[in-house]
Amino acid sequence: MKRAANGHGKRVLREYRRFEAALPKLLRRYRDRWVVFLDGEVKADYAEEYEAYLAGVKKFGNESPFVVAQVGRPVTATIGPALRL
Amino acid sequence: MENLALRENGPILDMIIASRDEENRVERRYPLLFDTGSGASAVDESLLLDMGLVARNYGELGFGREKKKTYPLYAAQLSIADVPSRFFRVFIFGIPGYSSDLYRGIVGRDFLQHVKFSYDGVNGDVSVTYPRRR
């Protein structure tokens, strides 16, 4: 995986991996909800992404490695090969 | 008016990438390629880091038929520069080294879903209109 070597990004990635591992359990309760995920658990859930984002920043601060994600709807996209690495 | 650069290089527009923090708002202007074939927007990650933006999620991104890889997603806002415009909240993929001499990334359908966009390749002209707010 290629990504910039930045400490915050690595901390968020670790939290994201924990989120992925927890998904089977989270789906039962939070399917399609936007969650603020930190320390291996859901801290809050919302209907809208922006609500979750704002709540995460307000409660934990911008430097916190919390993840904002929609449960059961991973972001996946294909982009044109106009620019290739 | 005919725009030779747009005709030769495609629909490259100056865009404003902004942070979501209204109190300490950071904005940067970059040329980005409008790409209706792309499901998401993606820019060189160094631009986002220079703005102080932070990753909030990760996603899988593929280039054409290539196998998808995991990249960070940055919470941001995106707008077209130099025209009366609106910002739309997006998650932008940050990809290390994703730049060319002409543009620093692409604008995908996560942004384009909000606007009516047409590209006149004959005359090198782009028009963008915003639907009325619902």
The string of pLDDT tens digits covering residues A1-49 is 334 447 888 999 999 999 999 999 999 999 999 999 999 999 999 999 9
Dump the DSSP string for B84-112: S---EEEEEEEETT---SS-SEEE-HHHH
Question: What does the domain layout of chain B look like in residue ranges?
Answer: 4-129
The string of pLDDT tens digits covering residues B41-87 is 999 999 999 999 999 999 999 887 788 899 999 999 999 998 766 89
Does the interface ipTM go beyond 0.90?
no
Total CB pairs under 8 A between chain A and B: 118
Q: Taking 70 as the threshold, does the pLDDT of residue B134 lie above it?
A: no
Q: CA B17 to CA B77: how far, in whole Å?
A: 6
**A58 close to B (CB below 8 A):** no
Q: How confident is the model at residue B1 (pLDDT cuts 50, 70, 90)?
A: very low
Contact assessment for residue B104 and residue B44, using Cβ atoms and an 8 Å cutoff: yes
pLDDT: is A43 or B5 the higher one?
A: A43
Question: What does the domain layout of chain A look like in residue ranges?
Answer: 7-70
Nearest to B13 by CA among B122, B129, B105, B131: B105
Burial B25-57 (b: 16+ CB within 10 A, else e): eeebebbbbbbeebbbbbbbbbbbbebebbbbb
**A85 close to B (CB below 8 A):** yes
HSE-up (13 A, CA, CB side) for residue B11: 19
- Taking every pair of Cα atoms in chain A, the longest distance, rounded to a whole number of angstroms, is 40
CATH code of B4-129, in short, is 2.40.70.10
* Residue B118, min C-alpha distance to chain A (Å): 18
Instruction: Report how far apart the first and last C-alpha atoms of chain A are (Å, whole number).
Output: 12
The string of pLDDT tens digits covering residues B94-115 is 999 888 888 899 999 999 999 9
Q: In the predicted model, what is the mean pLDDT of residues A46-73?
A: 95
**A9 close to B (CB below 8 A):** yes
- pLDDT score for A26: 97
Cα B32 from chain centroid (whole Å): 5
Contact assessment for residue B6 and residue B126, using Cβ atoms and an 8 Å cutoff: yes
Closest in B55, B63, B103 to A79, CB measured? B63
* Residue A28, min C-alpha distance to chain B (Å): 21
- pLDDT score for A81: 61
